[in-house]
A and B are shown apart, each in its own frame.
Chain A
Protein backbone atom coordinates (compact mmCIF):
# COMPACT_ATOMS: atom_id res chain seq x y z
CA UNK A 1 0.00 0.00 0.00
CA UNK A 2 2.78 2.39 0.96
CA UNK A 3 4.67 1.57 -2.17
CA UNK A 4 1.57 2.23 -4.15
CA UNK A 5 0.88 5.67 -2.63
CA UNK A 6 4.32 7.18 -3.02
CA UNK A 7 4.73 5.92 -6.52
CA UNK A 8 1.16 6.67 -7.58
CA UNK A 9 1.96 10.16 -8.85
CA UNK A 10 5.30 9.08 -10.30
CA UNK A 11 3.42 8.22 -13.48
CA UNK A 12 3.78 11.32 -15.68
CA UNK A 13 0.16 11.07 -16.77
CA UNK A 14 -1.16 11.27 -13.19
CA UNK A 15 1.26 13.98 -12.17
CA UNK A 16 0.28 15.95 -15.27
CA UNK A 17 -3.27 16.16 -13.95
CA UNK A 18 -2.22 16.84 -10.35
CA UNK A 19 0.09 19.69 -11.43
CA UNK A 20 -2.67 21.10 -13.60
CA UNK A 21 -4.98 21.27 -10.61
CA UNK A 22 -2.31 22.96 -8.47
CA UNK A 23 -1.49 25.74 -10.97
CA UNK A 24 -4.56 28.01 -10.42
CA UNK A 25 -4.17 27.79 -6.63
CA UNK A 26 -0.47 28.62 -6.73
CA UNK A 27 -1.12 31.47 -9.14
CA UNK A 28 -3.93 32.89 -6.97
CA UNK A 29 -1.78 32.73 -3.83
CA UNK A 30 1.10 34.37 -5.73
CA UNK A 31 -1.06 37.26 -6.94
CA UNK A 32 -2.70 37.96 -3.57
CA UNK A 33 0.55 37.74 -1.60
CA UNK A 34 2.46 39.86 -4.15
CA UNK A 35 -0.11 42.65 -3.93
CA UNK A 36 -0.12 42.48 -0.13
CA UNK A 37 3.67 42.22 0.11
CA UNK A 38 4.23 45.16 -2.26
CA UNK A 39 1.70 47.20 -0.31
CA UNK A 40 3.61 46.51 2.92
CA UNK A 41 7.09 46.81 1.45
CA UNK A 42 6.68 49.80 -0.84
CA UNK A 43 3.72 51.50 0.83
CA UNK A 44 3.61 50.97 4.57
CA UNK A 45 7.15 50.13 5.74
CA UNK A 46 9.06 53.21 6.89
CA UNK A 47 12.36 54.28 5.37
CA UNK A 48 15.64 52.91 6.69
CA UNK A 49 17.65 55.32 8.83
CA UNK A 50 20.95 54.27 7.23
CA UNK A 51 20.15 53.33 3.65
CA UNK A 52 17.15 55.53 2.96
CA UNK A 53 14.58 54.07 0.58
CA UNK A 54 17.15 52.08 -1.42
CA UNK A 55 16.71 49.35 1.20
CA UNK A 56 13.27 48.60 -0.29
CA UNK A 57 15.08 46.54 -2.92
CA UNK A 58 15.31 43.94 -0.14
CA UNK A 59 11.66 43.02 -0.77
CA UNK A 60 12.57 41.50 -4.14
CA UNK A 61 16.31 40.85 -3.71
CA UNK A 62 16.17 38.50 -0.73
CA UNK A 63 13.15 36.48 -1.96
CA UNK A 64 14.81 36.05 -5.37
CA UNK A 65 18.12 34.96 -3.81
CA UNK A 66 16.40 32.52 -1.46
CA UNK A 67 14.32 30.93 -4.19
CA UNK A 68 17.33 30.74 -6.54
CA UNK A 69 19.23 28.71 -3.93
CA UNK A 70 16.34 26.50 -2.82
CA UNK A 71 15.29 25.81 -6.42
CA UNK A 72 18.83 24.68 -7.16
CA UNK A 73 18.72 22.21 -4.28
CA UNK A 74 15.29 21.01 -5.46
CA UNK A 75 16.59 20.64 -9.01
CA UNK A 76 19.63 18.66 -7.84
CA UNK A 77 17.43 16.53 -5.57
CA UNK A 78 15.05 15.52 -8.36
CA UNK A 79 17.95 15.04 -10.77
CA UNK A 80 19.53 12.68 -8.22
CA UNK A 81 16.26 10.80 -7.72
CA UNK A 82 15.98 10.48 -11.49
CA UNK A 83 19.55 9.23 -11.76
CA UNK A 84 19.40 6.75 -8.86
CA UNK A 85 15.92 5.30 -9.38
CA UNK A 86 15.83 5.84 -13.14
CA UNK A 87 12.59 7.75 -12.58
CA UNK A 88 11.35 9.68 -15.60
CA UNK A 89 9.12 12.13 -13.76
CA UNK A 90 11.88 13.14 -11.33
CA UNK A 91 14.17 13.97 -14.27
CA UNK A 92 11.38 15.97 -15.90
CA UNK A 93 10.87 17.94 -12.67
CA UNK A 94 14.57 18.79 -12.52
CA UNK A 95 14.40 19.91 -16.15
CA UNK A 96 11.34 22.06 -15.42
CA UNK A 97 12.87 23.76 -12.37
CA UNK A 98 16.09 24.94 -14.07
CA UNK A 99 14.81 27.91 -16.15
CA UNK A 100 12.83 29.40 -13.25
CA UNK A 101 15.84 28.95 -10.97
CA UNK A 102 18.07 30.68 -13.51
CA UNK A 103 15.66 33.62 -13.71
CA UNK A 104 15.64 33.95 -9.92
CA UNK A 105 19.45 33.87 -9.81
CA UNK A 106 19.53 36.56 -12.49
CA UNK A 107 17.04 38.66 -10.51
CA UNK A 108 19.08 38.30 -7.32
CA UNK A 109 22.19 39.53 -9.18
CA UNK A 110 20.37 42.33 -11.01
CA UNK A 111 18.63 43.72 -7.94
CA UNK A 112 21.86 43.27 -6.00
CA UNK A 113 23.70 45.43 -8.50
CA UNK A 114 21.01 48.11 -8.27
CA UNK A 115 21.28 47.97 -4.49
CA UNK A 116 25.07 47.91 -4.48
CA UNK A 117 25.45 51.09 -6.52
CA UNK A 118 23.78 53.47 -4.02
CA UNK A 119 25.00 51.68 -0.86
CA UNK A 120 28.51 50.51 -1.78
CA UNK A 121 29.20 52.87 -4.67
CA UNK A 122 29.64 50.05 -7.17
CA UNK A 123 27.42 47.78 -9.28
CA UNK A 124 29.64 44.79 -8.78
CA UNK A 125 32.57 43.52 -6.71
CA UNK A 126 34.31 40.14 -6.90
CA UNK A 127 33.23 39.40 -3.39
CA UNK A 128 32.53 35.85 -2.13
CA UNK A 129 28.73 36.22 -1.90
CA UNK A 130 28.37 37.89 -5.29
CA UNK A 131 30.80 35.61 -7.08
CA UNK A 132 29.23 32.41 -5.72
CA UNK A 133 25.78 33.67 -6.75
CA UNK A 134 27.13 34.35 -10.26
CA UNK A 135 28.44 30.78 -10.28
CA UNK A 136 24.92 29.64 -9.32
CA UNK A 137 23.57 31.37 -12.43
CA UNK A 138 26.29 29.77 -14.56
CA UNK A 139 25.45 26.34 -13.08
CA UNK A 140 21.82 26.77 -14.10
CA UNK A 141 22.87 27.87 -17.60
CA UNK A 142 25.40 25.04 -17.84
CA UNK A 143 22.76 22.50 -16.77
CA UNK A 144 20.29 23.74 -19.38
CA UNK A 145 22.92 23.92 -22.13
CA UNK A 146 24.16 20.41 -21.40
CA UNK A 147 20.59 19.06 -21.48
CA UNK A 148 19.91 20.85 -24.74
CA UNK A 149 23.15 19.60 -26.33
CA UNK A 150 22.24 15.91 -25.96
CA UNK A 151 19.53 14.64 -28.27
CA UNK A 152 18.65 11.46 -26.42
CA UNK A 153 16.46 12.57 -23.50
CA UNK A 154 17.47 9.79 -21.13
CA UNK A 155 21.16 10.41 -21.72
CA UNK A 156 20.58 14.14 -21.32
CA UNK A 157 18.87 13.40 -17.98
CA UNK A 158 21.84 11.42 -16.71
CA UNK A 159 24.57 13.79 -17.86
CA UNK A 160 22.82 16.91 -16.61
CA UNK A 161 21.98 15.19 -13.30
CA UNK A 162 25.68 14.68 -12.61
CA UNK A 163 26.32 18.37 -13.27
CA UNK A 164 23.41 19.40 -11.03
CA UNK A 165 24.57 17.16 -8.18
CA UNK A 166 28.19 18.31 -8.33
CA UNK A 167 27.06 21.94 -8.42
CA UNK A 168 24.98 21.65 -5.27
CA UNK A 169 28.19 22.16 -3.27
CA UNK A 170 27.97 25.81 -4.33
CA UNK A 171 24.75 26.40 -2.36
CA UNK A 172 26.22 26.15 1.16
CA UNK A 173 29.14 28.23 -0.12
CA UNK A 174 26.70 31.01 -1.07
CA UNK A 175 24.89 30.71 2.23
CA UNK A 176 27.96 30.76 4.47
CA UNK A 177 30.11 33.02 2.26
CA UNK A 178 29.30 36.05 4.41
CA UNK A 179 30.58 34.18 7.48
CA UNK A 180 33.57 32.39 6.01
CA UNK A 181 35.08 35.33 4.19
CA UNK A 182 35.31 39.05 4.67
CA UNK A 183 32.71 40.28 2.27
CA UNK A 184 31.22 43.59 1.34
CA UNK A 185 27.82 41.91 1.42
CA UNK A 186 26.06 42.20 4.75
CA UNK A 187 25.46 39.13 6.90
CA UNK A 188 22.14 37.34 7.23
CA UNK A 189 19.35 39.57 8.53
CA UNK A 190 17.20 36.56 9.27
CA UNK A 191 18.39 33.28 10.76
CA UNK A 192 16.98 30.44 12.81
CA UNK A 193 19.33 30.99 15.73
CA UNK A 194 18.91 34.67 16.55
CA UNK A 195 16.29 37.39 16.50
CA UNK A 196 15.90 39.05 13.10
CA UNK A 197 18.07 42.16 12.70
CA UNK A 198 15.29 44.24 11.18
CA UNK A 199 12.03 45.98 12.10
CA UNK A 200 8.95 43.77 12.36
CA UNK A 201 7.09 45.44 9.49
CA UNK A 202 10.11 45.12 7.17
CA UNK A 203 10.51 41.48 8.13
CA UNK A 204 6.81 40.91 7.51
CA UNK A 205 7.03 42.44 4.04
CA UNK A 206 10.09 40.35 3.19
CA UNK A 207 8.50 37.09 4.34
CA UNK A 208 5.26 37.80 2.47
CA UNK A 209 7.18 38.60 -0.71
CA UNK A 210 9.18 35.40 -0.27
CA UNK A 211 6.02 33.31 0.04
CA UNK A 212 4.60 35.13 -2.99
CA UNK A 213 7.66 34.33 -5.08
CA UNK A 214 7.52 30.75 -3.86
CA UNK A 215 3.95 30.41 -4.98
CA UNK A 216 4.87 31.92 -8.34
CA UNK A 217 7.80 29.51 -8.78
CA UNK A 218 5.57 26.53 -7.96
CA UNK A 219 3.05 27.72 -10.56
CA UNK A 220 5.71 28.31 -13.22
CA UNK A 221 7.42 24.98 -12.58
CA UNK A 222 4.11 23.10 -12.66
CA UNK A 223 3.15 24.75 -15.94
CA UNK A 224 6.55 23.93 -17.40
CA UNK A 225 6.65 20.35 -16.14
CA UNK A 226 3.30 19.77 -17.85
CA UNK A 227 4.79 20.99 -21.13
CA UNK A 228 7.88 18.84 -20.61
CA UNK A 229 5.68 15.81 -19.93
CA UNK A 230 3.69 16.42 -23.13
CA UNK A 231 6.84 17.00 -25.18
CA UNK A 232 8.57 13.89 -23.91
CA UNK A 233 5.53 11.61 -23.84
CA UNK A 234 4.21 12.73 -27.19
CA UNK A 235 4.30 9.18 -28.49
CA UNK A 236 2.00 7.89 -25.74
CA UNK A 237 -1.67 7.33 -26.48
CA UNK A 238 -2.95 9.50 -23.60
CA UNK A 239 -0.80 12.42 -24.77
CA UNK A 240 -2.12 12.33 -28.31
CA UNK A 241 -5.66 12.02 -27.04
CA UNK A 242 -5.12 14.93 -24.68
CA UNK A 243 -3.60 17.15 -27.36
CA UNK A 244 -6.34 16.31 -29.84
CA UNK A 245 -8.91 17.92 -27.54
CA UNK A 246 -9.63 21.61 -28.18
CA UNK A 247 -7.43 23.83 -26.01
CA UNK A 248 -8.20 27.13 -24.33
CA UNK A 249 -6.34 30.00 -25.95
Chain B
Protein backbone atom coordinates (compact mmCIF):
# COMPACT_ATOMS: atom_id res chain seq x y z
CA UNK B 1 0.00 0.00 0.00
CA UNK B 2 1.36 3.35 -1.06
CA UNK B 3 0.78 6.61 0.76
CA UNK B 4 -1.19 9.11 -1.24
CA UNK B 5 0.50 12.22 0.16
CA UNK B 6 3.82 13.63 -1.03
CA UNK B 7 4.59 15.49 2.23
CA UNK B 8 3.33 16.26 5.72
CA UNK B 9 2.12 19.79 4.81
CA UNK B 10 0.12 18.21 1.97
CA UNK B 11 -1.39 15.80 4.44
CA UNK B 12 -2.39 18.54 6.88
CA UNK B 13 -3.75 20.80 4.14
CA UNK B 14 -6.07 18.02 2.86
CA UNK B 15 -6.24 19.65 -0.55
CA UNK B 16 -7.58 22.87 0.98
CA UNK B 17 -10.25 21.08 3.02
CA UNK B 18 -8.10 20.78 6.16
CA UNK B 19 -10.52 22.76 8.35
CA UNK B 20 -13.44 20.48 7.46
CA UNK B 21 -11.59 17.16 7.55
CA UNK B 22 -9.63 17.86 10.75
CA UNK B 23 -12.66 19.56 12.28
CA UNK B 24 -14.56 16.30 11.81
CA UNK B 25 -11.91 13.90 13.05
CA UNK B 26 -10.77 16.25 15.83
CA UNK B 27 -14.26 16.58 17.27
CA UNK B 28 -14.73 12.81 17.00
CA UNK B 29 -11.60 12.35 19.14
CA UNK B 30 -12.82 15.00 21.62
CA UNK B 31 -16.26 13.44 21.93
CA UNK B 32 -14.80 9.99 22.57
CA UNK B 33 -12.30 11.39 25.08
CA UNK B 34 -15.14 13.19 26.86
CA UNK B 35 -17.18 10.01 27.06
CA UNK B 36 -14.26 8.03 28.50
CA UNK B 37 -13.52 10.81 30.99
CA UNK B 38 -17.14 10.98 32.16
CA UNK B 39 -17.25 7.19 32.60
CA UNK B 40 -14.14 7.42 34.75
CA UNK B 41 -15.64 10.24 36.85
CA UNK B 42 -18.82 8.22 37.30
CA UNK B 43 -16.85 5.24 38.58
CA UNK B 44 -14.87 7.42 40.98
CA UNK B 45 -18.06 9.03 42.28
CA UNK B 46 -19.63 5.63 42.80
CA UNK B 47 -16.68 4.32 44.76
CA UNK B 48 -16.27 7.38 46.96
CA UNK B 49 -20.00 7.38 47.69
CA UNK B 50 -19.89 3.76 48.81
CA UNK B 51 -16.81 4.34 50.97
CA UNK B 52 -18.24 7.44 52.72
CA UNK B 53 -21.98 6.98 52.82
On A, residues with C-beta under 8 Å from B are: 38, 40, 42-47, 52-54, 56-57, 60-61, 64, 99-100, 103, 106-107, 110-111, 114-115, 117-118, 216, 220, 223-224, 227, 230-231, 234, 240, 243-244, 247
Contact = CB atoms under 8 A, between A and B. Distances in A.
A114 B15 contact: no
Interface of B: 1-5, 11, 14-17, 19-21, 23-25, 27-28, 31-32, 35-36, 39, 42-43, 46-47, 50-51
Contacts of B42: 224, 227
A24 to B, nearest CB: 14
The 8 closest A-B pairs by CB, nearest first: A53-B15, A54-B17, A111-B24, A53-B14, A243-B50, A114-B20, A57-B24, A52-B15
Contacts of A231: 46
A56 B5 CA distance: 13
Given A100-B35, A230-B46, A60 B16 contact: no
22 contacts: A38-B25, A40-B1, A42-B21, A42-B25, A43-B4, A45-B4, A47-B15, A53-B15, A54-B15, A54-B21, A60-B24, A99-B35, A100-B35, A107-B27, A114-B23, A115-B20, A115-B24, A220-B35, A224-B39, A231-B46, A234-B50, A244-B50
Q: Label chain A's interface by main secondary structure.
A: helix
A107 B36 CA distance: 15
A227 B39 contact: yes
A43 B36 CA distance: 27
Contact of B3 (A44, A54, A111, A240): A44
